[in-house]
């Protein structure tokens, strides 16, 4: 069902004060409360929920000088659906008497760097209390001394406040939602063996399961909005251009069958969305149970093989749902994982909640060395491509935002839906061709999208893997999409499947470990799929992972950008090792 603004978790702000009455507390009341109001204004201006509305903040009714006021604040936060807790203070306060004790709320403390009152001393004392009690918290402390009462939030403080808040909201937005598995395991892919313990213990999510035949039942019994279907089919015919059928003549479907396939896949799209979110229109049609949906914030569609050997594939449905626009106009994308790869669906969800943008689902298909490129195409890669690149390609389920036809400051981009213009949405559609599905892979027919991602976009690829004896681990690779000469693209692309969308990707290399070179990134990637988000958001992913107690096994994020809870520094001086030890010690967030 539709999510309203009231359903979204809020950011709770706790103004902490020196509780000594008789001159000390009174002199700090306005300064402390104004500090909280300034942070709330920052969050409300800079952050938005997935529907585009500004993030809401809740400030404690009074400053907090002791345990009674801390308890009153906790009650208010519970009533107001607070999902993230930030404490702020310009002064010394009583540590363990004033800290937030809720074990499930991501929490941070900003201790003001001023000489008049020791906010930094409280920060250190309170963090020590958090660490001693096993309640990890993020510490925020500005580099430069400010004057007491200064309302300005320095850039280094602002960066950490926003990183914490974005990750904390992602944690709370996932909590209580579902992963909907439509079908079961696709072609033995480990990620589509949906692990309920991972979702429950680490993400606080439910798992919902429906057999693929539920999609077929709803098609055959017309359990979808008939008016919307008519509008969707008209829009599809007008905006989704069909490409040449490259199947052998004897395997090509008739025109009549192809037209039926278009009708079928449009209905599939409506139904998968309804299965995730519900649809009040279905209740009006007499289908009250179906109208509820499964409260799914992310889903996966098995597709191959039992479905696609028999019926049209899910490429159109997945691609359109994952995009920021359809027959209803520009809207927030849905997160739908191809082949029910839940462990790629989760990082898609992470990236979406952190950026509010659509996410590219792709096979991490091929490393092309410069020598191999020159051998098969005659072109010697230069510039960003000089050390080779990775071919990201999948059968057609990729978001159409991935064309790169949107722009920021004249450069290719993927944007939150509220910033996308009608012209940009149309450009993404115009850059995409829908080819009759390769019947070698998809015996049941259907359509696969084809486009080439524009180069020049900063992107971050990520992936969750489950490792026996460890649990979930997160991989991150920041890099860029690149352009290659058109004739070279054609040669390389047609060696795979020319009816599928392609993104040429160059990760940022460091000369060490898994990022020694481009080949090493490909060689160390933990599975066949990756989720690609616009922007270099690896640091935000690391912050989020630490909140969820998921260690990061591979990343190329600069050390100065990494932001984890204060307690992580107590687990050793090597950042990756301390991350593993801290996550193992604290265990899953919800267990």
How many CA atoms within 13 Å lie on the side-chain side of 170? 27
- Residue 584: other Cβ atoms inside 10 A: 13
Q: Cβ contacts of residue 493 below 8 Å, gap of 6+?
A: 393, 452, 502
Of 208, 290, 318, 339, the active-site residue reads 339
| Residue 501: DSSP 8-state | -
Cβ(65)–Cβ(19) below 8 Å: yes
Concerning whether 419 is annotated as a catalytic residue, the answer is no
Give CA–CA dist 277/274, Å, rounded.
5
Concerning whether 409 is annotated as a catalytic residue, the answer is no
Of 208, 225, 315, 363, the active-site residue reads 363
Q: Cβ contacts of residue 109 below 8 Å, gap of 6+?
A: 16, 86, 87, 88, 89, 99, 122, 123, 126, 127, 137, 138, 139, 140
How many angstroms separate the Cα of 99 from the Cα of each of 14, 129, 169, 249, 511?
9, 8, 20, 71, 43
Q: What is the 3-state secondary structure (H, E, C) of 327-341?
A: CCEECCCCCEEECCC
Q: Cβ contacts of residue 401 below 8 Å, gap of 6+?
A: 323, 324, 333, 357, 358, 360, 414, 415, 428
Cβ(351)–Cβ(533) below 8 Å: yes
How many CA atoms within 13 Å lie on the side-chain side of 527? 26
- Tell me if residue 451 falls in helix, strand or coil: coil
| Residue 216: DSSP 8-state | H
In Å, the largest CA–CA distance within the chain is: 92
Placement of tokens 């000089």 in the chain: 386
Give CA–CA dist 15/89, Å, rounded.
6
67-97: b (≥16 Cβ within 10 Å) or e: eebbeebbeebeeeebbbbbbbbbbbbbbeb
Distance of CA 255 to the CA centre of its chain: 39
- Tell me if residue 481 falls in helix, strand or coil: strand
Any idea which residues carry the catalytic annotation?
339, 363
């Amino acid at each position: 069902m539709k999510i309203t603004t009231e359903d979204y978790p809020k950011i709770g702000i706790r103004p902490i004060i020196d509780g000594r009455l008789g001159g000390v507390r009174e002199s700090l009341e306005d300064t402390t409360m104004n500090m909280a109001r300034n942070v709330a204004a920052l969050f409300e201006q800079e952050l938005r929920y997935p529907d585009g509305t500004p993030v809401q903040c809740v400030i404690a009714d009074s400053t907090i000088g002791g345990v009674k006021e801390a308890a009153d604040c906790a009650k208010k936060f519970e009533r107001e659906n607070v999902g993230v807790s930030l404490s702020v203070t310009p002064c010394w306060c009583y540590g363990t008497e004033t800290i937030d004790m809720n074990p499930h709320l991501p929490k941070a403390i900003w201790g003001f760097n001023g000489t008049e009152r020791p906010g930094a001393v409280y920060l250190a004392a309170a963090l020590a209390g958090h660490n001693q009690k096993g309640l990890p918290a993020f510490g925020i402390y500005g580099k430069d001394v400010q004057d007491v009462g200064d309302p300005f939030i320095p850039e280094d403080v602002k960066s950490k406040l926003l990183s914490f808040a974005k990750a904390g909201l992602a944690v709370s937005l996932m909590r209580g939602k579902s992963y909907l598995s439509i079908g079961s395991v696709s072609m033995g892919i480990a990620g589509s063996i949906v692990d309920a313990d991972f979702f429950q213990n680490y993400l606080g999510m439910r798992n919902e399961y429906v057999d693929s035949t539920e999609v077929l039942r709803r098609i055959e019994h017309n359990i979808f909005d008939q008016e919307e279907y008519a509008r969707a089919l008209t829009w599809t015919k007008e905006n989704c251009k069909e490409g040449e059928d490259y199947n052998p003549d004897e395997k090509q479907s008739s025109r009549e069958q192809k037209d039926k396939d278009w009708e079928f896949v449009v209905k599939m799209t409506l139904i998968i969305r309804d299965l995730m979110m519900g649809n009040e229109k279905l209740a009006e049609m007499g289908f009250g149970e179906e109208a509820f949906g499964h409260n799914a914030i992310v889903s996966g569609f098995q597709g191959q093989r039992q479905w696609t050997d028999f019926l049209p594939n899910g490429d159109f449905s997945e691609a359109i749902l994952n995009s920021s626009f359809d027959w209803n106009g520009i809207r927030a994308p849905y997160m739908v994982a191809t082949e029910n790869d839940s462990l790629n669906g989760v990082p898609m969800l992470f990236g979406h909640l952190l950026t509010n943008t659509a996410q590219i689902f792709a096979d991490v298909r091929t490393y092309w060395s410069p020598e191999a490129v020159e051998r098969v195409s005659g072109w010697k890669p230069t510039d960003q491509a000089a050390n080779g690149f990775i071919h990201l390609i999948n059968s057609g389920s990729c978001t159409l935002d991935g064309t790169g036809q949107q722009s920021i400051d004249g450069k290719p981009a993927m944007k939150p839906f509220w910033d996308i213009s009608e012209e940009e949405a149309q450009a993404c559609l115009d850059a995409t061709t829908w080819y009759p599905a390769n019947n070698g892979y998809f015996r049941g027919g259907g359509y696969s999208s084809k486009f080439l991602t524009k180069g020049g976009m900063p992107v971050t690829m990520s992936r969750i893997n489950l490792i026996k004896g460890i649990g979930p681990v997160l991989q991150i690779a920041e890099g860029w999409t690149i352009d290659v000469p058109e004739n070279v693209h054609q040669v390389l692309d047609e060696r795979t499947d020319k009816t599928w969308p392609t993104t040429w990707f160059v990760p940022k290399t460091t000369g060490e470990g898994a990022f020694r070179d481009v080949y090493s990134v490909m060689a160390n990637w933990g599975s066949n799929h990756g989720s690609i988000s616009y922007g270099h958001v690896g640091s935000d992913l690391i912050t989020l992972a630490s909140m969820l107690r998921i260690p990061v096994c591979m990343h190329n994020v600069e050390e100065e950008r990494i932001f984890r809870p204060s307690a992580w520094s107590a687990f050793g001086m090597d950042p990756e090792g301390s991350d593993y030890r801290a996550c193992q010690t604290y265990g899953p967030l919800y267990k």
